[in-house]
Copies of this chain bind each other. A is one copy, B any other.
Amino acid sequence: MSVLAIDIGGTKLALAVVDSGGRLTTSVRIPTPHGDDVEAETIWRTLVTMVDRVLHSAGILSGELVGVGVGCGGPMSWPSGEVSPLNIPAWRGFPLRDRLVKRFPGVPVRLHNDAICVAVGEHWRGAGRGWDNVLGMVVSTGVGGGLILGGHLVDGASGNAGHIGHVVVDPEGPMCKCGGRGCLEAIARGPALAEWAVAQGWQGSGEPTAVNLAADAARGHPVACAAMRRAGRALGIAIASATHLCDLDVVCLGGGLSQAGPLLFDPLEEAFRAHARMDFAREVRVVPAALGQDAGMVGAAALVLAGERYWSAG
């Protein structure tokens, strides 16, 4: 019972053969082809080559797979699987699922948003395991998420449920790339945080990235620490809103920024406790994600291996 899991983002392509227990038996990872001259077919051929390589490494044939699960950056048409990942400009309306169906005839090919796959992975085999009502979050270049309620993945009207990054945390706050104002993502995404810190006078020890910002915060740099508090507070407010609306058990926080540890989690917890005051909301726990970079592939595999919980599209 092996599944091919594929995780496609703007920076990396990752593939794995996953067994029925959710373990990655073989995996490969390369940078996503990028540049102005990269064509849609170039990325597709790279992906196909990677598929052949990971199956060969695992010593299995295409025909032995029970299915293919894919997480891909949004937006996309769901469940039909034409993808237009924000960070892969060469793919606009690319028929990714159709291509994979032709490559793997006769088995299910299931594709969902990459952040949703992370949330599913954390629920199936990670920090959310055993709970029925879980918000899985990825805080990185963007802020994404996925929502499991009553033990089942919530898709919403168009497969877009879980967009915690566009919950409004400050209606007078900064403009968001979506066109709105004061979205969680506009404040807490890594690049926005670094930009805010630079505007406050931070001159990082290297490039002004969120990674360097977190490192400086760990060394006690006051502006870097303030930036982490700013992100933590915005996250705490958005999580309080989500908790009141959805009556969650657990919130799993992953992605690069979540590596900052208490520098992020302490102000997050403080803001969450200040705003999540209904009795039922006080019970919620916010925990770090457990699966790291594998979460998306584990979740993609779960779309096939645990479809009764994570795949509603038939």
Contacts and interface: CB of A to CB of B under 8 A. Distances in A.
Interface of A: 75, 132-133, 147, 149-150, 152, 154-171, 176, 178-183, 233, 237, 240-242, 244-249, 271, 274-281, 283, 312
Contacts of A169: 168, 171
B241 A162 contact: no
Closest 9 pairs (CB-CB, A-B): A156-B247, A179-B277, A166-B244, A161-B247, A160-B247, A180-B277, A160-B280, A167-B241, A163-B244
A229 to B, nearest CB: 14
Residue in A152, A244, A249 with the greatest tally of chain B CB atoms within 10 Å: A244
6 contacts: A157-B247, A161-B247, A163-B245, A167-B241, A170-B171, A241-B241
Contacts of A161: 149, 245-247
Contacts of A155: 150, 247
A55 B280 CA distance: 36
Contacts of A274: 180-181
A290 B168 CA distance: 28
A237 to B, nearest CB: 5
B241 A160 contact: no
Contacts of A283: 157-158
Contacts of A179: 277
Contacts of A156: 133, 149, 246-248, 280
Contacts of A147: 245-246
B150 A312 contact: yes
A279 B248 contact: no
Contact of A279 (B75, B162, B240): B75
A179 B273 CA distance: 10
